[in-house]
Amino acid sequence: MNEPRAELIPRARFDAVLLDMDGVLTDTARVHASAWKRMFDEFLRARAAGESYEPFDIESDYKHHVDGKPRYDGVRDFLRARGIALPEGGPHDPPQAQTVHGLGNRKDQLVNEVIAAEGVRVFPGSVLLLERLRAAGIRTAVVTSSQNRARVLEAAGLAALFDAAVDGHTLLERGLAGKPAPDMFLEAARMLGVAPARAVVIEDAISGVEAGARGGFGLVIGVARHGNASELAAHGAQRVVSELGELMG
């Protein structure tokens, strides 16, 4: 059996691997990006009331203000970048509410509609990598800002391949700061009983690699699925791959 490439994730050096979900394990980052664009464009169009407006841009707005962050943080950061102030509202605001939470809930509604209609696609190599890590005695945790973590992993057939999970619900319940703060990854390491220096972080988002770098983890690997290797490296990734299969011999 081939083990994860020794030069990248040697068992003698690492006890755990902490992986983001959307964009690393599953092709749901594409779904999220599309939902963010649809939600914000609808909001901006209505706000413009017939005047011209600048649409939400997936290449810049998604990557720099939203990707990898907790849902409501993404809403706040994008609105702040556009100089727009809205009432905060609350988590139970309906999707049509013109509040931070209302916009976030509208985006979540759109994502769930796509997942229900199309299912979840797993990136090639995700299952194999997780199985080989575990066979090598390396523990695994999923660390995602999504509150749909359980549903997505079940749909993808990945739920049984993790020893621990930190998600959007964990963030709220335990008062953790979202990425790019390292809190979520540090909590996952604590749950596994592993020192950060003995753990690997695998992320595809700028906010995620920044979180790994700030947390003092032993290795931060960026997954550049969109030709953004240099950008991930500039924000904290010590190694960059284009797919998880590259981590295996």
The answer to whether 218 touches 201, Cβ cutoff 8 Å, is: no
Nearest to 210 by CA among 231, 187, 188, 241: 231
Q: Which CATH architecture has domain 16-27+121-247?
A: 3-Layer(aba) Sandwich (3.40)
Active site residue 57: no
- Tokens read off for 19: 């992986």
> What is the domain partition of the chain in residue ranges?
16-27+121-247, 30-118
Q: What is the pLDDT of residues 190-237, one digit of tens each?
A: 999 999 999 999 999 999 999 999 999 999 999 998 889 999 999 999
Nearest to 103 by CA among 116, 89, 113, 115: 89
- Tokens read off for 177: 């700061």
Distance CA 247, CA 133 (A): 10
Q: Which residues pair with 142 in a beta bridge?
A: 19, 165
Q: At 249, is the pLDDT very low, low, confident or very high (cuts 50, 70, 90)?
A: low
How many CB atoms are closer than 10 A to CB 180?
19
Task: Report, in this order, helix, strand and coil percent for the chain, each rounded to 5.
Answer: 50, 10, 40
pLDDT (0 to 100) of residue 7: 52
**Sign of torsion over alpha carbons 42, 82, 63, 172:** negative
Distance CA 5, CA 246 (A): 8
C-alpha triplet 131, 171, 41: angle, nearest 5°: 95
Q: What is the pLDDT of residues 136-183, one digit of tens each?
A: 999 999 999 998 899 899 989 999 999 999 999 999 999 999 999 999
16-27+121-247 shares its CATH topology with 30-118:
no
Report how far Cα 174 is from the mean position of its chain's Cα atoms.
18
Active site residue 20: yes
Q: What is the pLDDT of residues 64-115, one digit of tens each?
A: 999 889 999 999 999 999 999 999 999 999 999 999 999 999 999 999 998 8
Say which residue the tokens 């032993």 belong to: 218
- Tokens read off for 226: 């969109």
- Catalytic residue selected from 20, 61, 73, 93: 20
Secondary structure letter of residue 62 according to DSSP? I
Q: Is 162 left (phi over 0), alpha (psi -120 to 50) or beta?
A: beta
- Catalytic residue selected from 22, 93, 183, 204: 22
Q: Which fold does the domain 30-118 belong to in CATH?
A: DNA polymerase; domain 1 (1.10.150)
Distance CA 214, CA 186 (A): 10
